[in-house]
Amino acid sequence: MKGFQRSHLNQLEAEAIYVIREIAAQFERPVLLFSGGKDSITMAHLARKAFFPAKIPFPLLHVDTGHNFPETIDFRDRYMEEIGARLIVRYVQDSIDQGRVVEETGPYASRNGLQTVTLLDALKEFNFEAALGGARRDEEKARAKERFFSHRDAFGQWDPKNQRPELWNLYNGLKLPGETFRVFPISNWTELDVWMYTREEGIELPSLYFSHQRKIVKRDGVLLGASDVVYPVGDETIEEMTVRFRTIGDMTCTGAVESPAADIHAIIEEVASARVTERGARADDKRSEAAMEDRKKQGYF
């Protein structure tokens, strides 16, 4: 790194680290939301870099829907051990058992929407004031207007018309009692940036992202991995296919893509020439055109 020129990845990294440090400096009780997906792994990596040689000065929180891919959970536990971070896990199952939420029933049931309640309860339980997430503005239209420091009222809700302007690199994290922030340090990254960064930094990712053989149920054009919670209905069948996942979420709604890309170089080539957004394979966004906007207002990430 000689001279004044920096690549776009260097600049995006420096910006994200700056934002993560602002969180640690401006809030007493921040938390990093960790799903086990590539964006949150990238976030954890950036947080390590932000505070090196010290450890990440806040805990990580995983909301487990109970429908996670087993690969995700294995990876999560191994990774936490390796980086010496403090992990808190909260379960959607507990919210169901406590009657906080009612589980959808039937073969198309998804726990994706239920996570929001578990998440808000967990934030309240620990009195977390700021939750860092790996959401990016390029993911979805409603996110394009999201701030780095996203203000939430005392009910955890997002009001798109009442967001603070963000100028230069000045992030206003002052708040009234009960209010919280969601913070998105990698707002300005695209899917391709994340992949290129993972390659440049040599970040390890769960095996789900790489091409593998899997039993698949095709549903409304979405390729879902067959499991206890996803099984064929009507004339649907199970097929063995070569797939990988572009995002990792709940098994009930995260679609795979057919792909031979078995290593990161192949994935970058594939992403660079992709013709469908990564969320295009997610059943939850397909419910209505403003689906994401509605879920965000309720407190979803």
Residue 7 touching other proteins (CB under 8 A) = yes
Which residues from 27-56 bind other proteins, rule CB under 8 A?
48-55
CA dihedral 77, 80, 82, 85 (to 10 degrees): -160
Alpha helices, DSSP H, located in the chain: 8-26, 38-51, 70-83, 92-97, 115-126, 191-201, 264-272, 291-297
Segment 170 to 209, residues that bind other proteins, using CB under 8 A: 170, 172, 174-176, 187-188, 190, 192-193
Residues 6+ apart with CB under 8 A from 276: 257
Q: From CA 21, how far away is CA 32, in angstroms rounded?
A: 12
Give the nearer residue to other proteins in terms of CB position, either 117 or 224.
224
Q: Binding marks (x or -) toward other proteins, 126..165, rule CB under 8 A?
A: -----------xx--xxxxx--------------xx-xxx
Closer CB to other proteins, 102 or 176, in the complex: 176
Count interface residues toward other proteins (CB under 8 A): 63
What is the CA 76 to chain-centroid distance, rounded? 13
Residue among 17, 61, 71, 25 at smallest CA distance from 186:
17
Annotate each residue in 264-283 with x if it binds other proteins (CB under 8 A) or - if it does not, as one string. ----------xxxx--x---
Closest approach, Cβ 72 to other proteins, in A, equals: 24
Left if phi > 0, otherwise alpha if psi is -120 to 50, otherwise beta: which for 92? alpha
Give the footprint of other proteins on this chain (CB under 8 A): 1-15, 17-18, 21-22, 24-25, 48-55, 137-138, 141-145, 160-161, 163-170, 172, 174-176, 187-188, 190, 192-193, 274-277, 280, 289-290, 293
